[in-house]
Structure 1
């Protein structure tokens, strides 16, 4: 019986000894987890949903002679039986069932022994539930007071504490405490023209304080939602577009970051040919990278779920494609180095290649100069969502404004930005110096694992010949 009261190195030592004794397989790893989470949802002046959940469990993953066995379990009882089950799966599994045929044993990585304790600015686990509710309801009241056309305010908050133990038979043993928190306040306005909404999103890996002092942002969201009610629909066409740091970061994550995940490239010769290292992908000052080192970001990840330390991974440097994101498995298949991007949402899932914090490095163009010379264009802020299909993308801007004679003028509605990520990267003609760390309350989805905490940091971008859907298209 594994006792959660014994939160010390004895668990890690026991796991190390257990995996070291498994000499009849090529590779084995064990992950144990203790998860504790709180979820809140409010509507106007009342709580619509609240929950507090504790989960204890783990998993075993085994690689042997080109096949893999993965077993997850609730509770910490009978680890030897779970290990045996994973071994049997690996030895019986038909390797032809895998996406790219026979599975490669994970690429070598330097053995790591580490204990990572939680360090917070304000720990949400020590904030009473009543205080969290009070903040959400207070913001709703503020939005309603700001303008009478505000008709509903929805608040969402969550925090999740994870305590993890990892060991493999190549010498790594890691204990980590992790924290993730976030949410949003969505303000909806309505008049005879219909409805419009704007939101304030927040997130952190170490500070409940991000939920405090949002009054000015809530007021701005209420005013913006009301202003959009009477805004005309954008006229569809091709525009020079300036996107704010939030939308630029979403673009980097959704349209380009997912293409950089190596498990999507392995087995897809067409995509591998498009994502060939050394290909020119943008202007000489374009630098996009992924990192797990930004403490406080939701994508902060000292070690991934295969025991690989955090590192910066350049994807585009000086406008040229120079890297991709790897697990130890995909790194072995392509003969490259692991990058620390193997992540699992929960102990019920195996680690797969995922982004952490996707970053566009700042440029040297002042914000006002991004608009110079634009006779008629679009300034797009934020996003209400979108979708990608391979290299094609579609994003609905949360706010959009006409640019006329180099100045931001009036709001427009339903500005949908569409295009091909490869050509759009080439059409970036200016990168702002207004680099912004954005931490939202959403998450990334892939292979049934959602919402995984991620971040995106970026400056504003100027993009030429961008197709904007709207009236007349």
Structure 2
């Protein structure tokens, strides 16, 4: 079926008289398995087809969504009409990659989610939920599994025709004590189901950590010295920096663009940040982006100096830069935007213990509940916080919020661990009213000399 769709799209764009024509097709199935205590709920698989036609005529874009392959040509015609009658300022011709014809199939990785029956997935959720509940002793436990499998095709009039079959799956563990204190973990992967097997020790530890934190106390707000774990390091990079170097955001915010221009020093020499869409085991990875440009590794900061922004073909043309393969469309019928894929802080040489030894009186921060940015400022809710005395974890404290300016925090990085780890989410990054898209983020443990904690 997807082969027929691809061939029809190739014929359609080949006949287009536009300066540039493009067809994007997505055909996906979604399934969900939920175990909450003794209650279970399973849905799916639910299939969905979506298509987008996009054309560039006389330096203006036109775009149109279609819901069946029979309407593909009509959508191309409507997109052309939109471009012809568009009143927006003219745009430079997009920086398109050379023609490419290729395919990628996650199902070749074993075992793929399709190799595991629905009964096995439901059993695994029930098994983990019972184990988590037994570890807690009191309170509630919930385990959910989500799966999204399917095909994505991008065809354009420059000769590109690529097909990517992706298998994305996620399992989330949530525990809540009677007083409302909670803890959660999410494991999301691309490709193989193998990562979800044998998680008993991690689940038991999740319950034990929560029970121990029931004795936590408060601290006074203020600026302090901290060590953050890999997940929180990734969230700081994602929320505090990554969104700021998405080029279409910077085009609307010239003051921020000036402060983050390539060549500008904004961080400690220990800071090296990358975005790599070719890390194919993680959500957010793409062999090709939603314009058919090859995914790649992009150095965003090297030794504290800004090296690049994240670009689509259009933003690259407007900034006289190279496309970075970061064009992502959150919804059908929506123009691709420059978005992060797998963004991480490059590891250093220190162990976690060596970083903690540099804390005489500070905090160890682990995990997160959520985060937000406001231009160059950020705030992140931390899931676990511990006081540290002379390099040793002392006692848990109530969950805290860290905040500050991105340049201040990145300049305060004094140590980087050698334990890089990435975490992914299937629906974790939304922007400008669009749907949440898969992303991954991570880093090693970081020692930060000063950060605002409240």
Partner in structure 1 of residue 340 of structure 2: 355
Q: Which residue number in structure 1 is paired with residue 149 of structure 2? A: 161
Local SS of the residue matching 2:13: helix
Q: Does 1:87 align with 2:80?
A: yes
Confirm or deny that 1:19 pairs with 2:13: yes
Find 2:428's aligned residue among 443, 453, 470: 443
Q: 1:35 aligns with which of 28, 33, 36?
A: 28
1:61-98 deviations in Å (ceiling 9; x for gaps)? 11222322111111111322111111111111221xxx
Residue 346 of structure 1: how far off its partner (Å): 4.4
Gaps of at least 5 residues in structure 2 are none
Cα distance, 1:33 vs. partner? 2.1
CA shift digits 1:9-53 (9 cap, x unpaired) = x54344223212212x22210112211111223311211452321
TM-score by length of 1: 0.92
Contact 2:425/2:438, CA 8 A, preserved across alignment: no
8 Å CA contact retained: 1:293, 1:301: yes
The 3 A distance-change label for structure 1 pair 168 and 440 is closer
Matched, 1:57 2:50: yes
Q: How many residues align?
A: 453
Q: Distance in 1 between matches of 2:225 and 2:92?
A: 46
Mapped partners of 1:278, 1:304: distance in 2: 26
Corresponding residue to 2:242 among 224, 244, 257: 257
Residue 440 of structure 1, CA deviation: 4.2
CA separation in 2, counterparts of 1:170 and 1:441?
31
Whole-Å Cα distance in 1 between the matches of residues 151 and 359 of structure 2? Answer: 52
Match of 1:120 in 2: 109
- Confirm whether residue 170 of structure 1 aligns to residue 155 of structure 2: no
Contact between 1:71 and 1:85, CA under 8 Å: does it hold in 2?
A: yes
Does structure 1 retain, via aligned residues, the 8 Å contact 2:224–2:451?
yes
Report whether the alignment pairs 1:374 with 2:362: no
- What residue ranges of structure 1 are gaps of 5+ in the alignment? 96-100
Q: Secondary structure at the match of 2:322?
A: coil
Return the alpha-carbon distance in structure 1 between the equivalents of residues 420 and 403 of structure 2.
Answer: 24
Distance across 1 between alignment mates of 2:81 and 2:443 = 47
User: Are residues 1:299 and 2:284 paired?
Assistant: yes
Q: Is 1:236 aligned to residue 236 of structure 2?
A: no
Determine if contact 2:426/2:439 at 8 Å carries over to the other structure: no
- Asked if the contact 2:386–2:394 (Cα under 8 Å) also holds between the matched residues in 1, the reply is yes
1:88–1:348 Cα change, 3 Å:
closer
Q: Is the Cα contact below 8 Å between 2:113 and 2:167 reproduced in 1?
A: no
SS of equivalent to 2:419: coil
RMSD (CA atoms)? 1.6
Aligned position for 1:138: 127
1: distance between equivalents of 2:232 and 2:335? 30
